[in-house]
């Protein structure tokens, strides 16, 4: 199977929901609490018996992802604290042996599959309970034990839950932050690890956080184009670095911001993985539900502009802030159709510049209403007339522009030619 074939569903999906859930959810201070407060492992381990999420919580996560219009999900099967949400021969520190005594990964995988969502698993390589992670030279046996556990647990995850679509490693960096990516990959024996994964799950997509390049890059808290691989930009709805439940979390992003990030990711031919951090019972807080639902409502009407979209060469304009000299315009594309996603509605007339391809028809994607337009083949200026004075959609309105060919951007050979209008 080629890279393109393997990536097909992922590219079409564009939008996923990330779920951070673990013992840290009980504390409500984010997923880094064990380390940032230097809580000794034995003391932290006592949380395991309090881990008692409500029955059916995984269904709730899946329902939220569906309502958001997401096409796949990724669950933290174990974060840096080392607590596993699955049954493991390699550790007793699991949700099956403590607290609720349930295999949360199984519940999640079943619920996601039943809802038709692709299934992603997150797995942290580093485990803060092992001195051999922090000081591998000083504690070689602990490092060996850690590696044995990782290779064994990844095998379990890849064997016991049917077809897994996506594997997202994390925590690949070395504690002293000295190694380069190859050094990380060597430390985790990523070549061997991923060869096993691919043998067990031949169609799986793997991220690059083990230090080994593989299929996708996963930048955090920013939306950007891939440097070498296709990109999945992941982000919190609240503050950065509060992926796990953070009880007091003042800076929620608005639905408008979330949608702009999603559209921007699609414009850059990448995906957007938006995180929710369920509370100790596994429930998703209203602040998160409301916001992702708004995105879902928008996608119901405008999803054509996002799912399975391709990169578009065109630029704005008529949108303050989004026009610049040669950067990305707010367009996506499918074949000869351009989708102009307008966040800052211009009023009755929308103007796009540097359009090199003849236009056949312009409609509002959400309603099909058609608009008059004028395209100047010499200057490349496209004007769309008779639009409503107020934005038709408060989040973003999409003009569907049908071209005679794949829309291309016109080169401005003489940067001053627009002054005379010729």
Give the nearer residue to ligand GLC in terms of CB position, either 32 or 252: 32
CA distance 269 to 225: 7
Give the nearer residue to ligand GLC in terms of CB position, either 154 or 341: 154
Task: Decide: is 60 part of the binding site for ligand GLC (CB under 6 A).
Answer: no
What single DSSP character describes residue 73?
Answer: E
Q: How far is CA 132 from CA 35, 135, 144, 211, 258, in A?
A: 15, 5, 8, 18, 39
- CA 44 to mean position of chain CA atoms: 30
Q: Give the residue closest to ligand GLC by C-beta.
A: 243
Neighbours of 15 (CB within 10 A): 24
Q: Angle formed by the axes of helices 190-200 and 140-159, to 10°?
A: 20
CA distance 279 to 247: 8
Give the nearer residue to ligand GLC in terms of CB position, either 20 or 71: 20
Task: Decide: is 243 part of the binding site for ligand GLC (CB under 6 A).
Answer: yes
CA distance 35 to 14: 33
Give the nearer residue to ligand GLC in terms of CB position, either 79 or 381: 79
Q: How far is the CB of 258 from ligand GLC (least distance, A)?
A: 17
Task: Decide: is 223 part of the binding site for ligand GLC (CB under 6 A).
Answer: no
Give the nearer residue to ligand GLC in terms of CB position, either 234 or 274: 234
Residues that bind ligand GLC (rule: CB under 6 A) add up to a total of 7
For residue 419, give every residue at least 6 positions away whose Cβ sits within 8 Å of its Cβ, in sequence order, or none.
Answer: none
Q: How far is the CB of 32 from ligand GLC (least distance, A)?
A: 6
Q: How far is the CB of 171 from ligand GLC (least distance, A)?
A: 6
Give the nearer residue to ligand GLC in terms of CB position, either 108 or 343: 108
CA distance 151 to 36: 27
Which of 31, 127, 208, 313 is in the footprint of ligand GLC by CB under 6 A?
31
Task: Decide: is 304 part of the binding site for ligand GLC (CB under 6 A).
Answer: no
Contact between residue 310 and residue 334 where contact means Cβ atoms under 8 Å apart:
yes
Q: How far is the CB of 98 from ligand GLC (least distance, A)?
A: 21
Q: What binding mask, one character per residue, do residues 2-21 give for ligand GLC by CB under 6 A, x or -?
A: ------------------x-
Q: How far is the CB of 20 from ligand GLC (least distance, A)?
A: 6
Give the nearer residue to ligand GLC in terms of CB position, either 35 or 418: 35
Contact between residue 321 and residue 284 where contact means Cβ atoms under 8 Å apart:
no
Helix ranges, 160-254 (H): 181-188, 190-200
Contact between residue 80 and residue 124 where contact means Cβ atoms under 8 Å apart:
yes
Give the nearer residue to ligand GLC in terms of CB position, either 278 or 338: 278
Which of 70, 234, 235, 352 is in the footprint of ligand GLC by CB under 6 A?
234
Task: Decide: is 220 part of the binding site for ligand GLC (CB under 6 A).
Answer: yes
**E strands, 138-243, where?**
166-170, 205-206, 216-217, 230-236
Task: Decide: is 170 part of the binding site for ligand GLC (CB under 6 A).
Answer: yes
Q: Which residues of this protein are in contact with ligand GLC, per CB under 6 A?
A: 20, 31-32, 170, 220, 234, 243
């Amino acid at each position: 199977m080629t890279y393109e074939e393997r990536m097909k569903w992922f590219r079409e999906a564009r939008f996923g929901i990330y779920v951070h859930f673990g013992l840290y959810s009980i504390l409500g201070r984010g997923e880094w609490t064990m380390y940032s407060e230097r809580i000794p492992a034995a003391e932290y381990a006592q949380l395991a018996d309090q881990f008692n999420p409500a029955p059916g919580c995984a269904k709730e996560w899946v329902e939220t992802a569906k309502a958001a219009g997401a096409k796949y999900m990724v669950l933290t099967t174990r974060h840096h604290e080392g607590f596993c949400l699955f049954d493991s021969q390699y550790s007793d520190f699991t949700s099956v042996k403590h607290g609720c005594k349930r295999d949360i990964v199984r519940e999640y995988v079943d619920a996601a599959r039943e809802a038709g969502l692709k299934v992603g698993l997150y797995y942290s390589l580093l485990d803060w309970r092992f001195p051999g992670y922090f000081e591998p030279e000083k504690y070689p046996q602990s490092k060996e034990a850690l590696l044995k556990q990782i290779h064994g647990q990844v095998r379990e995850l890849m064997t016991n839950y049917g077809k897994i679509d996506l594997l997202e490693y994390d925590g690949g960096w070395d504690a002293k932050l000295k190694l380069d990516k190859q050094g990380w990959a060597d430390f985790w024996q990523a070549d061997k690890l991923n060869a096993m994964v691919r043998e067990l799950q031949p169609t799986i997509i793997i991220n690059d956080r083990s230090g080994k390049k593989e299929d996708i890059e996963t930048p955090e808290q920013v939306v950007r184009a891939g440097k070498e691989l296709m990109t999945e930009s992941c982000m919190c709805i609240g503050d950065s670095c509060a992926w796990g439940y953070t009880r007091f979390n003042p800076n929620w992003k608005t639905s408008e911001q979330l949608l702009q990030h999603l559209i921007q990711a699609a414009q850059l031919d990448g995906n957007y993985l938006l995180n929710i951090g369920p509370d100790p019972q596994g429930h998703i807080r209203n602040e998160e539900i409301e916001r992702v639902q708004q995105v879902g409502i928008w996608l119901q009407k405008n999803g054509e502009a996002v799912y399975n979209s391709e990169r578009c060469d065109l630029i704005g304009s008529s949108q303050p802030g989004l026009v610049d000299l040669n950067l990305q315009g707010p367009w996506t594309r499918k074949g000869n159709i351009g989708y102009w996603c307008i966040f800052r509605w211009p009023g009755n007339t929308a103007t796009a510049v540097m359009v090199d391809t003849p236009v056949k028809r312009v409609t509002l994607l959400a309603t099909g209403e058609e608009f008059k337009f004028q395209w100047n083949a010499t200057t490349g200026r496209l004007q769309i007339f008779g639009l409503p004075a107020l934005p038709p959609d408060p989040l973003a309105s999409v003009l569907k522009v049908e071209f005679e060919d794949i829309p291309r951007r016109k080169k401005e050979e003489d940067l001053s030619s627009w002054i005379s209008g010729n």
